[in-house]
Structure 1
Amino acid sequence: MRHGHSQANQQCLIISSPERSIDAFGLSDTGEQQLASLVDAWAWPVPTRVVHSDFLRTTQTAARVANAFELAMSPDQRLRERFFGELEGGSDARYPDVWALDAQSAEHTTHRVEAVSAVAARMMAVLEEWERKAQGETILIVSHGDPLQILLTALEGRPLAQHREQPALLPASITQVGGAP
């Protein structure tokens, strides 16, 4: 699940560092409304666990779902937003610049951006760990757009440089992986 619409989305900012994201840039009013509607009309298997990025926007998203189903939450730093380095705090109009470089190499770190391959490795590690620890359970992972698109690309076995070819993950959207559709 991608977090609900956030204050960073609302302000068109790149907010990817723990220093800015753990205690600030939570959900916007739109995000709160999205999650209320989503929980009220839940159409997916009911999760047995909620694992989430420790950033405020994902923690608030996870809390909405966890409270609705009376579940414990497990924060995991590996589910954090992709770090956008020197672009941190700037306009989100710079995302396409990074994504164009991603399409050339999943290893690039231009502008001190976290490499796509590094994001894929940490996201896959979370999934593999929970698959081992919680077999047969339905895990809801709450993270961010870029890391989730990278994860879905890795799960499909496609080259990581193609992660932007994934359909866009809208705020508060859920993509079911594994199990019955």
Structure 2
Amino acid sequence: MTTRLIVWRHGNTDWNATHRVQGQTDVPLNDLGRQQAVDAAELLVRLRPTALVASDLSRAADTAAALAALTGLSVTYDERLRERSFGQWQGLTMTKVAVTRPVEYARWVAGADVVGGDVETLDDLGKRVAEGLQDAADLVSPGGTVVVATHGGSARSGIGQLLGWPREQLRTLRALQNCHWAELTHDDERGWQLGSYNVGPFGERPVPPPV
């Protein structure tokens, strides 16, 4: 039997809209983000999820709440699913980071760990998020579907860790758009596999599980 894991990025925030580094700052959804969560939930409910897990930051928790309202499921919160900690970058626009912390910014653009600024390493990020994703998947019986509401950077790194991808391969994945998701499946023979990526209300539509 195959377990399905949906890794869902939260809806839009004012800091997303202004390209400001959120990291683990608890920035709420804006009006657009709340509508995106409702629109996405109307699609995700068709997958008949049996468990719902979210980062405890409000932008992810409130995104999950839109699906909880349609499914009747309660949400389990897990701080391991939080966004990457960006330390001293948090609250700055990326333009400001590039100007005031150019060496750190250059390493970030190159996909290397940022040295300085108290930015969480990619290995630490991937490991903690993957542990949270695996524990979320373990909540459902084989054949079940769990939806996890998380963040863009944490989603990509956690997925890469589950799949065993090297950092160079992970960089080929574009970031999830707001309120879009990735679908992974797991079975005992093949382990974790990536089924689809960047699915959402304005693009590819999800495929319901077989009856």
Equivalent residues of 2:10, 2:178 under 8 A apart: yes
Task: Determine whether 1:138 maps to 2:140.
Answer: no
Partner-residue secondary structure (3-state), 2:56? coil
Equivalent residues of 1:154, 1:160 under 8 A apart: no
Alignment partners' CA distance in 2, 1:8 and 1:87: 13
Partner-residue secondary structure (3-state), 1:147? helix
Q: How far 1:31 sits from its partner (Å)?
A: 1.0
Q: How far 1:125 sits from its partner (Å)?
A: 1.0
Higher helix share: 1
Cα gap change, 1:66/1:88 in structure 2, threshold over 3 Å: closer, same or farther?
A: same
Q: How far 1:87 sits from its partner (Å)?
A: 0.5
- CA RMSD between the two structures: 2.3
Equivalent residues of 1:104, 1:161 under 8 A apart: no
**Matched-pair identity in %:** 25
Deviations 1:29-50 (A, max 9, x none): 1112212222234475221111
Aligned to 2:116: 110
Displacement over 6 Å in runs of 4+: none
Cα gap change, 1:75/1:43 in structure 2, threshold over 3 Å: closer, same or farther?
A: closer
Aligned to 1:53: 55
Cα gap change, 1:162/1:97 in structure 2, threshold over 3 Å: closer, same or farther?
A: farther
Higher strand share: 2
Among 58, 76, 89, the residue aligned to 2:78: 76
Amino acid at match of 2:32: T
Alignment partners' CA distance in 1, 2:34 and 2:70: 14
Among 5, 12, 16, the residue aligned to 1:9: 16
Amino acid at match of 2:109: A
Equivalent residues of 1:153, 1:166 under 8 A apart: no
- Unaligned 5+ residue runs, structure 1? none
Equivalent residues of 1:99, 1:164 under 8 A apart: no
Q: How far 1:14 sits from its partner (Å)?
A: 1.1
Deviations 1:96-136 (A, max 9, x none): 645335x235xx54321000000111111112223334332
Deviations 1:158-181 (A, max 9, x none): 213553321220000011110686
Cα gap change, 1:110/1:100 in structure 2, threshold over 3 Å: closer, same or farther?
A: farther
Q: How far 1:64 sits from its partner (Å)?
A: 0.4
Partner-residue secondary structure (3-state), 2:160? helix
Equivalent residues of 2:11, 2:33 under 8 A apart: yes
Aligned to 1:125: 131
Q: How far 1:141 sits from its partner (Å)?
A: 0.8
Cα gap change, 1:134/1:100 in structure 2, threshold over 3 Å: closer, same or farther?
A: same
Equivalent residues of 2:125, 2:154 under 8 A apart: yes
- Unaligned 5+ residue runs, structure 2? 1-7, 99-104, 187-194, 196-206
Q: Within 5 A, what are the aligned runs for 1:143-154? A: 143-154=150-161
Alignment partners' CA distance in 1, 2:130 and 2:183: 15
Task: Determine whether 1:100 maps to 2:102.
Answer: no
